[in-house]
Structure 1
């Protein structure tokens, strides 16, 4: 056969390959039709088209059904592999097995969102998807939309008013700022649980400023507290260590304050007219149907879409009890 007479891909369709496979396995046209859920004439017609394409009888009648020709026997292995590859491709796009997946999910989180969400998320992933890996990224505001559109990050968790209208989002909670200090400081200043930060700021109380949160700085300015700031830090990570050693206070999101409170003796107080803002999960709509993406999105909604419920009431287990040497207690 000349190269120009060889069968071409456009001469075939998937139904022809499925018919060939079924006849080869069943060795009977009638049983092949039942296997495929079609009529026997449909299978016979498919075989006729295949014979024209390959210029071979492919299957010949025998007393018990049909037998493959040598050409059909050579084709059978290749057609079987093609069908398996296609099925694997379809399966990959239709399901996500969390228990065995080794997928890497990339999340953009503010320092607030890392403190609020990451510990609980990782606890659940350890139980449900032990081989899944999470990478957190801190994306500059100017690169935020590009990173989400390109798939460089799968989700963004936080408050991002500059997010593109092309993104989907789901609200997780409404956040507000509160005042946090060590409980020993509140006791020394004789602040009871009903105290609210406003014009009546106790004398001698000094503050930590978190420079990545301009709303916190605005509240310090509103209540004329900037002169009392003794240290400015770029994020919240060092705050628990400072509060454990220094008699300072700071203004921070309530959910972060609750997370820090679970780690030690802290006191949290409301702030007059602090206002609220939404914390959302954002993702690009072109990834909306991806099975793995949908699975993680569902988990985020399950864990953190709390509406008006108290943040962290259901998120955090009992804090670890440490003995003086820093080892787990028996």
Structure 2
């Protein structure tokens, strides 16, 4: 078996605002396996400044994987515990190599084009007028669940945006999720949650910065509406540590990004622990190309979670790869008659 890797820069169609600044491009890496005339492709979707494996020896570790590919998927996964995005790329590449088609990793009624999944429409941070425009676009596109990034502009302006949605749509018509990306300061967080609760929100992701376990645990006890952990899960290795974190904080939900938590296997570990503790969960992509998004979407379908998932990021780039995934009326579909255009 021959293994190689290649870096690829994805360019955003428009600068996209997050609490960590404005994104204009996104780096990703592809792991390519070749054996007996077949090819397997995996995406190592590192998210700089957020991924635990954002470190100087990242490319060196990819090189090591290629030199030690003979170890096989399971042994490599164990050896790569501190590199969750490479764990995911390795899982994906081996699965791709073993599949009938390199991009049909989990054959199902989804990949046959018979079933679809509901997803949330993502509204990026920006000035109030830009966010309002995005909200109107998502509603016009038929999304029933909208996720708003908050914490970048004046809090009152963000409340005004929520008021704008709720003036026109009640919570039965439009589900609103907000994501603070840890933007609230500790002594103001509960007050802000109380103000937000008037808008009948489904949940808030990561209201305060990760690592404040006692404060987050208190918030989860006192919050007037559900809290979902996101960044809090990054860099938590081993089943015991994962279980201790969930038992300590007792969140209402966790959000799983396979590129950040160790791929399919890491995601399934979190799910089994969460379900044991009656904690809800959903899966989201983390700005991967369509290669990673396709793998995450096919995997998610097999888990039969009927909540809206966070899988709508494929249309963000000018130089993504054409693929069978498409979004219509707030749902993601797979068209088996559509071909891939994957050229590195």
User: Larger Cα Rg: Structure 1 or Structure 2?
Assistant: 1
Structure 1 length normalisation: TM-score? Answer: 0.23
Structure 2 length normalisation: TM-score? Answer: 0.22
